[in-house]
Chains A and B, each alone.
Chain A
Amino acid sequence: MTDESARILVVDDDVDICHNLTDILSDLGYHVDLAHDGHSALKLLHQSRYDVALLDYKMPGMDGLTLYREIRKRHAGTVALLVTAYASSATAEAALSAGAWKVVAKPVDFGALLQFVEQAIHQPLLLVVDDDRDLCANLWDLFRDQGYRVGLAHDVSEASEQILDSRHRIVLIDMRIPGATGSDVFRMVRETDPRARTILITGYRAEMDPLIDQMVAEGADAVCYKPFDMPQLLAKLGELARPHAEEAGQNPG
């Protein structure tokens, strides 16, 4: 599990806090990168994708919320915790509207913070591959609200990058995306990450798209027709997101 250990990004202009957090988290087995300002954090994002980002709200230059917006644009699947000494309800609301998961007040209660980190990492990671940005934004809101981490890919190159980078519990694939067909992405998932479950998204009905039947025969777990039946889709996600029986058996605890 070494190359699959969770990656955490810590950004705080207070060097001491930063190092302390890094020490504690590294000691728990996480891979931790740190930065003291927004711009150097963005540089780290070029090389790495993070499961969790611990961001100080008030930093010189780029503030924590602006930094999170940048992170989300690149890696929507990163869960952000903003740490602030001035937790007014307005700043907290702005952070939550932007998609941050928690706003944590300083001084930080390390016990609580570590619990949040642990929880965030255990949220199942989904990937949505669809070029409709409005739909992606909606699914992000809806799936986050249900406690999933949600990565987004709008074309085939974004999709392949993330499929190679991260292990996903479920990948949702639109049948029509720029640069490829849904079946290309589906096969990429099957080859790279065979344990990931797959849900196909389509605006056509099965009788109009023979590819769908073929992919179901090849092992796609579900087909979801537009417009979505949300309760049904969420129930399906819940069912597929449960760890596989054999996986749980191999890695007890």
Chain B
Amino acid sequence: MIDAGGLYERYKELQSYVGWTEEDARRVAATATLLEPYLYALIEDFYAEIERHPNARKVITGGAEQIARLKGTLTQWIRDLLSGAYDTTYVTRRWKVGLRHVEIGLEQVYTNVALSRLRTGLVQSLHESWRGAGRDLKETVRSLDKLLDLDLAIIEDAYQAEYAARLQRTERLATLGQVAGGVAHELRNPLNVVKTSVYYLVNARNPTDDKKTEHLRRIERNVELADGVITALSNFARLPLPEMRPIDLESMMREVLELNPPGDRIEVVLNSPPGLPGGLGDASQLRIALGNLVRNARDAMTQGGRLEISLRSEADRVVIEVADSGTGMDEAELVRIMEPLYTTKTRGLGLGLAITRSIIDKNQGTIQVESQSGRGSTFTVRLFAAPVEGDQ
């Protein structure tokens, strides 16, 4: 939907930028009759040049008939240009040229060079037909230049806006496809368990009562697993604005470790220096973010290892470092590790770190990761320190 009023406002702003006046409009309008006899040749030259450039030529798919029509359009475009009336209708038509170029896949560079060629032709024709004073010719050419620059600005503006909008739509579709693939895989696993259990309950020859109970419990458990996939996805999709409050980091980390126990085979160390300032953030969100880091560390150390969590203060920030001695990641994995739907695990949607990063971002913090394949990974979270009481 084109907002013609808004467009015209924008055009007026651009006009004032180049110093466009009514006098310019009058001068350009005066050239219309002078240039009319040259239009045919200019337009023939315009399309002859296109023929020599395959990347420009390829967008014309309708053959001679289409070229004839396009020549008519271009003639009208030049007549409009020289009309002296640069109103809403005029601007909207220019804007549509940019949209159309995106539609047919004509790169903006060809608009720029084609207009340059046309400009040269128009100016040359003006020189040939000019009968007045040389000083007036110079002024007229300057006015024509301004007008062509404005036309180009509007066409390019439309091109960029439309191009960006299309790109966004394509990316959204690609992400949707990626999400659908990840969710499909994660949901098919529990569905498969449910389906095979149901098949057993319906078809097994002599299932004992214990066996039937076992399969019903398994169905129940896997329905919960499937539900968990959907919960994780919707948590990611709508993360509320954080309530920023001072947080005691040490006790928060202890809670996180309690909620996400790393297991017996992992030695856990929590280093917290005395007098550490509090952090600033939403504790309920940060617990999720840091819980993901602890769980990842655990999953990276299936054969056991050491999880070291170090808190420290750094200028106006507090730092939480979560270091494991697990499998680590190589360069290629490291680059992608925070992308949504990327995972190095065999199970899971690959949303954990993406959620963590998104939470830390919203809490005005930063997160960094360093890792060495076979040696382990260290995640470093920085949050603003809470202001000390009486400081303000």
Contact = CB atoms under 8 A, between A and B. Distances in A.
A97 B211 contact: yes
A142 B202 CA distance: 11
Interface stretch (A131-139, A161-169, A188-196, A240-248): A131-139
A132 B186 CA distance: 12
Given A97-B211, A138-B218, A226 B204 contact: no
A132 B184 contact: no
B218 A227 contact: no
Contacts of A215: none
Contact of A141 (B185, B195, B200, B346): B200
Interface in A88-107: 93-94, 96-97
Nearest to B199: A230
Interface string B253-292: 0000000000000000000000000000000000000000
B346 A226 contact: no
Interface magnitude class on chain A: 20 to 34
A134 B222 contact: yes
B193 A135 contact: yes
A93 B212 CA distance: 12
Contacts of B188: 203, 226-227
Contacts of A137: 214, 218
A204 B184 contact: yes
Nearest to A139: B196
B196 A208 contact: no
Given A138-B200, A145-B205, A177-B346, A97 B193 contact: no
Among A131, A139, A141, A177, which residue has the most Cβ atoms of chain B within 10 A?
A: A141
A131 B211 CA distance: 22
Q: Is the interface of B mostly helix, strand, loop or mixed?
A: helix
Interface string B179-215: 0010011101101111111011001111011110011
B346 A135 contact: no
Given A96-B208, A230-B199, A134 B218 contact: yes
- List 7 A-B pairs, minimum CB-CB distance, nearest first: A97-B210, A203-B188, A138-B196, A226-B192, A226-B188, A203-B185, A227-B192
26 contacts: A93-B209, A96-B211, A97-B208, A131-B347, A132-B189, A132-B192, A132-B193, A132-B347, A135-B189, A135-B193, A137-B214, A137-B218, A138-B196, A139-B196, A141-B200, A141-B204, A142-B196, A142-B204, A145-B204, A178-B302, A203-B189, A226-B188, A227-B188, A227-B196, A230-B196, A230-B203
Given A96-B211, A132-B347, A142-B204, 17 more contacts: A93-B208, A93-B210, A96-B206, A131-B346, A132-B193, A134-B193, A134-B218, A134-B222, A135-B192, A137-B214, A138-B196, A141-B215, A145-B204, A145-B205, A226-B191, A227-B194, A228-B192
Interface of A: 93-94, 96-97, 131-132, 134-135, 137-139, 141-142, 145, 176-178, 203-204, 208, 226-228, 230
